[in-house]
Structure 1
Amino acid sequence: MSTLIDITPPVRAGMAFFPGDAPCEVTQTFSIGPGCPVNVTEISFSTHCGAHADAPLHYDENGASIDQLDLNDFIGPARVIDARGKGPLCLPEEIAGQLQGVPERVLLRLEEKLDPMVWPEGFRSLAPETIELLVASGVRLVGVDVPSVDPETSKDLPSHMAARRADLRILENLVLAGVKPGDYELIALPLLLEGLDAAPVRAVLRPLAPAGGGSPGK
């Protein structure tokens, strides 16, 4: 059996959240004790809490909601690319040389290891031209290890708009520190939240079997 690489940050009370968004809160509804045989917990959080998939409805008032998206977009071959750099935006020329034979899903590591309990102020994001390059290369899903493909202060969301024009899927808040660049199988299914603008995912990578068949490492 191949090893799964979990690229999902833990969801817990007090974790960092986009300024102005709803925090993650946890309360105990029932606790095991005299007269109560079970533990039951209540949890509330934003649809953009932790690792999540954006639906077009997030940035397009007439866009599809998360339950209307094709799950096949979120499963399949993916390439992890180290796109760390000094500038505030990842520009197309920084990744262009790593797109030869690229699969339909690309995950971009933009930052060093982030602490999920601390808001990454000034995080690196994507230039809209980078989105356009990915789309031109046949990519239909992009994932990043930061809270948004656009800068946190952006009001016009140019990279989200580039994704909207191309009907490109977006994953945000992944954990890519420590993941070796290369090709994997991605599994990142969003929760079936009817009519909503996004949904949390449990995102994992599975190493691809070596050419010729067999299990990795054998």
Structure 2
Amino acid sequence: MTSEKWIDISQPLREDIAHWPGDTPFSYEVVFRKSETGSVNIGKMVTSLHTGTHIDAPFHFLENGTRVTDLDINIFIGPCLVIDVSQHELIDVEVLKKFEIKGSKRILLRTSARRDLTVFPKKIPLLTLEAIDYLKNQDITLIGIDLPSVDQIDSKELPIHHRIYKHGIYILENVLLDHIKPGKYELSALPLPIEYADGSLVRAAVRPLSNKNGVGV
């Protein structure tokens, strides 16, 4: 057992958080004040399920895909490996081979992502289909990334989403990893049990499993 503290890797949900162009922006308001109810303040939140740190259910990109409440929550809890690929705009097999990934099950990729969370990026690093195949061969079951999508922003076909699904891997997007050293961690990124949903906001956090960070070059 580790005695290390959990570290938040979630994007703060606030009025100016970037959202997909044309999608529902995040908003929060107090709709009832304690002065009105006599006992409590009550807030209301409106948002897309793909704003900030979130998971994708297969229904997000498949007409008859699995919904959030059908997913095994154990996918989103357990050991993970954080690797730094921020020196590469193309994340391919050759890049991934620099790291000892086998046996990790869950992998979080720290990329050269934008750092201003109020601005939606026009361009993001490219994951290749072959890279997803490679991660499958390393027995990865969850891919987390500090980007709003595993596919390119302007993609309509979403080939990476579909290849990930084909391999039985699940997707965690928009995590914050700038303050996380590469290495082995325990991950918790549980989705909300939103019935029939195509995705869910999550509160994602990691805590170190060891002090060894020499997992790649």
TM-score past 0.5 threshold: yes
What is residue 207 of structure 2 aligned with on the other side? 206
**After alignment, is 159-168 or 25-34 more displaced?**
25-34
| Aligned pair partner of 1:14 in 5, 13, 16 | 16
The alpha-carbon distance between structure 1 residues 23 and 35, as it changes in their structure 2 partners (threshold 3 A), is: closer
- Give 1:216's aligned residue: none
Rounded to whole Å, the distance in 1 between the matches of 2:118 and 2:69 is 29
Deviation at 1:32, TM superposition (A): 2.7
CA gap 1:37/1:130 in 2 versus in 1, 3 angstroms:
same
Counterparts of 1:1-218 in structure 2, within 5 Å, are 1-33=3-35, 36-87=38-89, 89-112=90-113, 114-208=115-209
Instruction: Identify the range of structure 1 (7-16 vs 142-151) with the bigger mean alpha-carbon deviation.
Output: 7-16
Distance 1:30 1:186, change over 3 A: same
Could you say what secondary structure the match of 1:156 adopts? coil
The SS at the match of 1:160 is helix
> Cα offset for 1:113?
5.8
Asked if the contact 2:88/2:112 (under 8 Å) is kept, the reply is no
Q: Secondary structure of 1:134's match?
A: helix
Equivalences, count: 210
Deviations 1:104-127 (A, max 9, x none): 000001125622222122122411
Secondary structure in structure 2 of the residue aligned to 1:77: strand
Task: Return 5+ residue gaps in structure 1 as ranges.
Answer: 212-218
1:37 Cα deviation after fit: 2.9
How far the C-alpha of 1:206 sits from its partner, in A, is: 1.3
Aligned to 2:116, the other structure's residue is in SS state coil
Distance 2:95 2:170 in 1: 21
CA distance in 1, matches of 2:211, 2:121: 37
What's the CA shift string for 1:62-121, capped at 9, x where partnerless?
21001100011111110001011343x311211112134341000001125622222122
Residues 210/42 of structure 1: CA separation in 2 closer, same or farther (3 Å cut):
same
> Does the 8 Å CA contact 1:82/1:109 hold for their aligned counterparts?
yes
TM-score (norm 2): 0.91
Distance 1:54 1:111 in 2: 22
**Could you tell me how far apart the structure 2 residues matched to 1:57 and 1:112 are?**
26
Give the C-alpha shift of residue 35 in structure 1: 5.9
Residue 53 and residue 112 in structure 1: after superposition, are their counterparts in 2 closer, same or farther (change >3 A)? closer
The CA RMSD measured in Å over matched residues stands at 1.7
Is contact 1:111–1:146 with CA below 8 Å preserved after alignment? no
* TM-score computed with the length of structure 1 as normaliser: 0.90
Secondary structure class of the residue paired with 1:97: coil
Contact 1:112–1:177 (CA<8 Å) still a contact in 2?
A: no
Identity of aligned residues (%): 39
Q: Distance in 2 between matches of 1:136 and 1:209?
A: 25
Which one-letter code corresponds to 2:104 in the other structure? Answer: P
Deviation at 1:140, TM superposition (A): 0.6
Conserved 8 A contact 1:79-1:183: yes
